[in-house]
Amino acid sequence: MAKEIGEEYIVKIQKEVTDKCERCKDMCVGDGIVVIDYFCPICKAKFWELYKIARLRIPVGFIGKTIEDKSVMQRANNYIANFSPGFNLLIKGRSGLGKTLLATLILRQLTGEYRNGDFFAVANYINYRQNLYDDGVEDLEEIASNTDLLVLDDLGSEHGALDSEGQAAYVMSRLSLLLKSRFDNKKTTIITTNLDAINLKRRYGDAVCSVLASYAVINMTGEINYRERVAKDLNSKLEGGVSK
Ligand SMILES: [Zn+2]
């Protein structure tokens, strides 16, 4: 279900992982997965982590980041500890608080040998759906329906891409079918959104909202804005600060 990773990308991950390791550096010869077995334990672990992230389609910008809000992390850890298929989760809060990061951390923890998963930005999923003659459409639809743990990131962000009432109605019905079928089949869905209950209802109607009403909720209300922090780090570099 998860994304297949091509040889070219495997070589890229190998290079990234072994670049600073004297022992493994020269093993990057593009021989595919076999060479990984001979990496030192540190490089080996790093390689498989990056490989997993790529398979889950998690954007690379979320690698190596952590959530600092302890109460949010506690709730996320409780979710992970008590997880069972069909334990759906809605992560709410305004932009920049780390909702997507939290969803990717949970996705990484809960997937592996026995459970697959995928990460889709809702806006992209909707765009693919609209492009009905694209070869990739059916695949994406099938993945979204069948993957064990699906993160649908930033529900509501697709709205700007819709240019008519008809499209909005179409999106609503697709989304409603997807969420309902996942619910009925005990496939787990984690959704992030910055819409509040009123706007969720206004935009997606009763069908979607009645499914969402069955989800557990993590509300992110903290003060730490991760995007502002990235800008702050970059700006301090412009001023000659120490780079990381
Ligand atoms: Zn190494």
Give pLDDT tens digits for 92-137.
Answer: 998 888 999 999 999 999 998 889 999 998 887 777 666 655 566 6
Which residue in this structure is represented by tokens 């026995």? 114
Closest CA to 94 of 196, 191, 190: 196
Cα(110) to centroid of ligand 1, in Å? Answer: 26
Question: Please, what is the Cα angle at 205 between 106 and 141, to 5 degrees?
Answer: 50
- The residues pairing with 150 across neighbouring beta strands, listed in sequence order, are 118, 189
Spell out the per-residue pLDDT of the chain, length 244, in tens. 677 777 778 888 888 888 889 988 877 665 555 678 888 999 999 998 899 999 898 988 888 888 888 999 999 999 999 999 999 999 999 888 899 999 999 999 999 888 999 999 888 777 766 665 556 666 778 888 999 999 999 999 887 777 777 877 887 888 899 999 999 999 999 999 999 989 999 888 888 999 999 999 999 987 777 788 888 888 888 988 654 4
Cα(12) to centroid of ligand 1, in Å? Answer: 15
Q: What is the spatial distance between Cα 133 and Cα 127, in angstroms, rounded to a whole number? A: 12
Residue 160 backbone dihedrals phi, psi, to 5 degrees: -60, -25
Amino acid at 95: S
Q: What is the spatial distance between Cα 230 and Cα 75, in angstroms, rounded to a whole number? A: 25
Cα(13) to centroid of ligand 1, in Å? Answer: 13
Q: State the helix-helix crossing angle for 7-18 and 41-55, rounded to 10 degrees.
A: 140
Cα(43) to centroid of ligand 1, in Å? Answer: 4
pLDDT of the residue at 36: 82
Question: Please, what is the Cα angle at 188 between 186 and 193, to 5 degrees?
Answer: 135
- DSSP one-letter code for 112: S
Cα(17) to centroid of ligand 1, in Å? Answer: 8
Which residue in this structure is represented by tokens 């030192």? 40
Amino acid at 172: M
Which protein residues have a CB closer than 5 Å to ligand 1 (ion)? Answer: 21, 23-24, 40, 43
Cα(120) to centroid of ligand 1, in Å? Answer: 32
- Per-position b or e across 145-162, b if 16+ CB within 10 A of its CB: eebbbbbbbbbbbbbeeb
Cα(15) to centroid of ligand 1, in Å? Answer: 11
Specify the CATH number for 70-219; select among 3.40.50.1460, 3.90.1150.10, 3.40.50.300, 3.20.20.120.
Answer: 3.40.50.300
Q: Taking phi first (over 0 means left), then psi (-120 to 50 degrees means alpha), and beta for anything else, what does residue 132 get? A: alpha
Cα(66) to centroid of ligand 1, in Å? Answer: 24
Cα(21) to centroid of ligand 1, in Å? Answer: 5
Cα(29) to centroid of ligand 1, in Å? Answer: 14
Please state the domain extents for the chain: 7-55, 70-219
pLDDT of the residue at 83: 96
Q: List, edge to edge, every strand of the sheet that includes 149-155.
A: 117-121, 149-155, 188-193, 89-92, 216-219
pTM attached to this predicted model:
0.85
pLDDT of the residue at 1: 60
